[in-house]
Structure 1
């Protein structure tokens, strides 16, 4: 067995065991105590934090470390992981941006020459492109850490009404269309609201929280519950069908007729009307709202607002 293979086996053994003696390694791998000590020195030189305990009951302890033991990937697995990292390149800010760059560099450096050539060639033919936003999100990592540590925050937030102070409990963050969003429980309004992380101007203070809140995964599941169900019925032209099938918020609701036209007939939450109204306003004459009346009213007000800006000449 090669020395590299033996070192890897010992590394995996001691990383799992945490506390061990030289005799235990000697027995496990059928090697001499002297060879064990030499391998332990090699592992220490490689960066494994091993503490030697002196005395009759002495031995070795692998100190708590965030270093992971080597993981063996096939070439295809390594290439897949590398391009999974590449899909994040177009986000201006990430809560672990430095770590992604470091991991990508380590992974690429560990590839064999043939695998590197494959990655280099693929980068010229495939990309997970998203429009890169110029908006900075400097407090992204701090907000995520607050959610992980179950803390409440007092923040200065830039809203439509100006800069306001919010007392919130963040439940996580998620990325959509190049921007970062934070669902958080608003203690003043006593409900979960959605905030843009880039609009958080500062974190005034944080405080320990003893209450229990749902997390982001649970919130995503609960958003599909229609608390105020309302019927959405829309008639679509062929072009309306094409555009709605290209929109991730509408594509699952579209029914297509034999002539290529179609319709949407579904139950949504009333609270979504302001969110979906710009989608239908953009469709114009290619989408005719039948129900609900509230959505028709919203589109009428938007149209009147635009027309008031461009009065007809006498």
Structure 2
């Protein structure tokens, strides 16, 4: 039997046993204790976390029971996995960031010379770019652990009205545009709200016996139903169409004419008016809002505030 095959067999054996002696391995595989010690050193060098206990009743303990057996990848599969990890490179904060870097390095080092050359070349031409935010998300890992444990959270959350306390049941977290978001059930009203994880300033883990009625994937695929529905009707120039097609929350609502112009006629929630007012104010003449009147008033307010900052210069006497 080859040494590689023997090492794999011993790896599977010790991972299942967790605690063992060199004599147990020697008896199981019909090899000498001296050879067992040599194999265990090889496995330790390969990354298997083994702790040796000295003394008459000593032996070995695998410090982690989450050891996976070796998996054989084709060269293309290994390159694909490497670049999957690289797609996360531009996020400032990631759960398991140290482990991701470790796996990426192990994958790269395991590649043959030609495959490494291919990876090095591709990295010069391919990037999975996200804006690298200066905003930190220090509680991301803590939030994720609470979600995995299906725990309720008491959070201190920073918003326009200041820091408030919320009692929530998180559904999950997802990354978008360089930021992390968390939909969660607000337990005081049974409404699902969306929180930015970087704005969570403190958490306290609560009960773990309550579950939401949906998981993150279901929430992402659920059609949004406004709590306070209001009609949004906007006429768009061709540039307005192009810009609005780049906005995820408006993309599906854009109707394009044959000449490139178009319009938006959809239902939004009233609490989204302030968010949309900033977008349409930026688009200026390329997005003419017809409804609702409340949004038109917000746009007029933005214009007056800007004119107050930049008044007409006085004519010289």
TM-score range, shorter chain: 0.7 to 0.9
Q: Contact 2:95 / 2:141 at 8 angstroms: preserved in 1?
A: yes
Q: Contact 2:15 / 2:67 at 8 angstroms: preserved in 1?
A: no
Is 1:234 the equivalent of 2:261?
A: no
Which residue does the alignment assign to 1:206?
A: 205
Which residue does the alignment assign to 2:55?
A: none
| Per-residue Cα deviation, 1:104-137 (whole angstroms, up to 9, x for no partner) | 1111111111111111111111111222111211
Q: Contact 1:234 / 1:291 at 8 angstroms: preserved in 2?
A: yes
Note the residue ranges of structure 2 that are not aligned, 5 or more in a row.
Answer: 19-24, 51-60
Provide the rounded CA distance (Å) in 2 between the counterparts of 1:218 and 1:106: 34
Cα offset, 1:285, TM superposition: 0.3
| Per-residue Cα deviation, 1:211-243 (whole angstroms, up to 9, x for no partner) | 221332233234533444443322111211222
Which residue does the alignment assign to 2:163?
A: 163
TM-aligned CA distance change 1:49 to 1:132, over 3 Å: closer
Per the normalisation by structure 1, the TM-score is: 0.78
Please give the residue correspondences for 1:243-254 in structure 2 after superposition, counting only pairs within 5 Å: 243-254=243-254
Note the residue ranges of structure 1 that are not aligned, 5 or more in a row.
Answer: 20-24, 26-31, 51-60
Q: Secondary structure at the match of 1:80?
A: helix
Cα offset, 1:188, TM superposition: 4.2
Provide the rounded CA distance (Å) in 2 between the counterparts of 1:181 and 1:170: 11
Which residue does the alignment assign to 1:175?
A: 175
Cα offset, 1:275, TM superposition: 2.9
Per the normalisation by structure 2, the TM-score is: 0.78
Which residue does the alignment assign to 1:256?
A: 256
Which residue does the alignment assign to 2:125?
A: 125
Provide the rounded CA distance (Å) in 1 between the counterparts of 2:103 and 2:201: 30
Provide the rounded CA distance (Å) in 2 between the counterparts of 1:18 and 1:237: 68
Please give the residue correspondences for 1:1-314 in structure 2 after superposition, counting only pairs within 5 Å: 2-5=2-5, 7-8=7-8, 10=9, 34=30, 44-45=40-41, 46-47=43-44, 65-203=65-203, 205-213=204-212, 214-222=214-222, 224-312=224-312
Cα offset, 1:310, TM superposition: 3.3
Provide the rounded CA distance (Å) in 2 between the counterparts of 1:223 and 1:257: 25
TM-aligned CA distance change 1:223 to 1:95, over 3 Å: farther
Q: Secondary structure at the match of 1:151?
A: coil
For the aligned residue pairs, the C-alpha RMSD in angstroms reads 3.4
TM-aligned CA distance change 1:247 to 1:161, over 3 Å: closer
Q: Contact 2:167 / 2:188 at 8 angstroms: preserved in 1?
A: yes
Q: Secondary structure at the match of 2:30?
A: helix
Provide the rounded CA distance (Å) in 1 between the counterparts of 2:177 and 2:299: 24
Aligned pair count reads: 295
Q: Contact 1:18 / 1:63 at 8 angstroms: preserved in 2?
A: no
Provide the rounded CA distance (Å) in 2 between the counterparts of 1:15 and 1:225: 53
Cα offset, 1:313, TM superposition: 5.1
